[in-house]
Amino acid sequence: MTTVLITGANRGIGLEMTRRYAAAGASVIATARHPETADALSKLAAESGRVSVLPLEVANEASVAALAKAVAGKPIDILINNAGTLGSRGGWDDPAHDLKTWTEVLATNVIGPHLVSRALVPNLKLAKQGKLAIVCSHLGSSEMAAGGILPYRASKAAAINLARNLAVELKPLGIAVVAFHPGWVQTDMGGYNAAVKVGDSAQGMIDRLAALSLATSGVFEDYSGKTFPF
Ligand SMILES: NC(=O)c1ccc[n+]([C@@H]2O[C@H](COP(=O)([O-])OP(=O)(O)OC[C@H]3O[C@@H](n4cnc5c(N)ncnc54)[C@H](OP(=O)(O)O)[C@@H]3O)[C@@H](O)[C@H]2O)c1
């Protein structure tokens, strides 16, 4: 049975991917910062019997270490670094782009995926064909820079770069890596006027992960398979 670990699974895209993987018969380790208040995820776990919920704050080394300990020795076929945060939406002079916001955004969107990936590579190695995704954003494309939302854009640019470099380093270990743009998706982050339904984004990325191989490792693509410039 395929085992998938998804971060930030209590709402939005992570919750929908959890729902769909479980419905398709996978075993899902769904992480949330606060499992005790993750009502939709707890309900899904109780109903499906295929979802186990574990606590994870991706920007906290002790929390990442506790997760690694909880899943030690267990093969993980697919790791999805989905948890992310937006910060403030303004441009260069937005006073909300202070050190605290920058630090939170970079820690969650870049450092967290690295800490989590590093901690779980042993589990991916135990799988027949380990696959690792970082949910990035086309807002992180340097070629497509349009200004605004500066900490988020910079964090996602770094997340894409992280995915590219992990693809190189993990290829000899047999682990394939993808950087995703999930689309502009109807969630708390994307807003409910966004263009893409959360189910379409989640299913698209599930399908792209099924197609991912060592030959395509390092790709930066959206939920429909459209590639983006770095
Ligand atoms: N929606 C879009 O249009 C869009 C577009 C491009 C990229 N993305 C990316 O897609 C991913 C999912 O986005 P979404 O739209 O589903 O966002 P969302 O609805 O805001 O959900 C974000 C998830 O990340 C979790 N999270 C945030 N900071 C965390 C941390 N430090 N440690 C652990 N979990 C943390 C949240 O947990 P809490 O509930 O505890 O806060 C929540 O589960 C993100 O990486 C986002 O940047 C989204």
Cβ partners under 8 Å of residue 91, min gap 6: 147, 148, 150
Average pLDDT of the chain, as a whole number: 98
Nearest to 79 by CA among 120, 112, 41: 120
What pLDDT, on the 0 to 100 scale, is given for residue 21?
A: 98
As a whole-number percent, the residues of the chain with pLDDT over 90 amount to 100
Average pLDDT over residues 149-162: 98
Residue 151 alpha carbon to ligand 1 centre in Å: 15
* 3-state secondary structure labels for all residues of 63-88: HHHHHHHHCCCCCCCEEEECCCCCCC
The count of residues in the chain is 230
Reported as a single tens digit per residue, the pLDDT across 107-131 is 999 999 999 999 999 999 999 999 9
What pLDDT, on the 0 to 100 scale, is given for residue 71?
A: 98
Quickly count: other Cβ atoms within 10 Å of residue 70's Cβ: 14
For the chain, state the CA radius of gyration: 16
Cβ partners under 8 Å of residue 39, min gap 6: none
Reported as a single tens digit per residue, the pLDDT across 164-202 is 999 999 999 999 999 999 999 999 999 999 999 999 999
pTM of the full structure = 0.99
Average pLDDT over residues 140-155: 97
The confidence band for 139, taking pLDDT boundaries of 50, 70 and 90, is very high
Burial 106-130 (b: 16+ CB within 10 A, else e): bbbbbbbbbbbbebbbbbbeebeeb
Residue 172 alpha carbon to ligand 1 centre in Å: 30
Quickly count: other Cβ atoms within 10 Å of residue 79's Cβ: 28
CATH domain 3-222 topology: Rossmann fold (3.40.50)
Average pLDDT over residues 204-226: 98
Quickly count: other Cβ atoms within 10 Å of residue 181's Cβ: 25
Reported as a single tens digit per residue, the pLDDT across 42-89 is 999 999 999 999 999 999 999 999 999 999 999 999 999 999 999 999
Q: How far is 68 from 82, CA to CA, in rounded Å?
A: 17
Contact 39, 14 (CB under 8 A): no
Residue type, 186: Q
Residues with CB under 6 A from ligand 1: 7-8, 10-14, 33-34, 56-59, 82-85, 108, 112, 135, 137, 182, 184-185, 187-190, 194
